[in-house]
Structure 1
Amino acid sequence: MLHACFDQDMSTLHDDSATEVRAAVEEAGRLVLAESVSRWWKQFPEVRVRRNLVRDRPVEHLLDLAADAQLVVVGTRGRGGFVGMDIGSTGTALLHKTPCPLLMVRQPGGECVGE
């Protein structure tokens, strides 16, 4: 399981503030991973799940992990910047480059939130 925390431009923040923001974002990412994995482990204890937290855009990391995968499952929010897109830029890139089957899942009731 991979969770990506991409640093937006923090050049306007003081160094201490940027460090605090990054630490808070990473901690939130660790909590997302822990909560997500714990739900699956309870239901499917025989499935091996690796947790990966990266501070970068997710595509290249997902493609690296997909090299040994039988299936890649990603959530999508359609945040690619275009209203009405069903998948965002991450999903689009994975659709064209993933070496194994790809399943994109939208949260129940989820709406596209692109601008």
Structure 2
Amino acid sequence: MPFIIGTSIPEDKVLVQSVAHIYGIGLSQSKILCKKAGFGSDSRGRNVTFSKGKNLENLAEAIPLPLGPDLRRFQNDKIRRLCLISTYRGSRHRKGLPVRGQRTHTNAKKRPLLKSNVN
């Protein structure tokens, strides 16, 4: 099972969908990466050799945006900063309520807490 940017690629799943599981890469970006790496639209994870996997990883890392754990860390740092400077959005994050103006009268009483909940 190959790993690309810390994400395992299942052998029996379509490669385009598997690459889209990398945090920060969507389906359209995944299609572009797989096409540049020389994979067809129906190729699977078992078709990834070590050299082609490295090529795919290098293409993904060439994207000028943070991906994977770096992107998660960046987003968590932004939320932690909002909580630290006591903004309204930071207090909403801390309480586990919707942050972007959604209603709470009937929905969102139990917003799922993230694994890296900022307290």
TM-score (norm 2): 0.29
Report the structure, 1 or 2, having the larger helix content. Answer: 2
Greater C-alpha radius of gyration: 2
Report the structure, 1 or 2, having the larger strand content. Answer: 1
Q: Which has the higher contact order (CA 8 A, sep 6+)?
A: 1
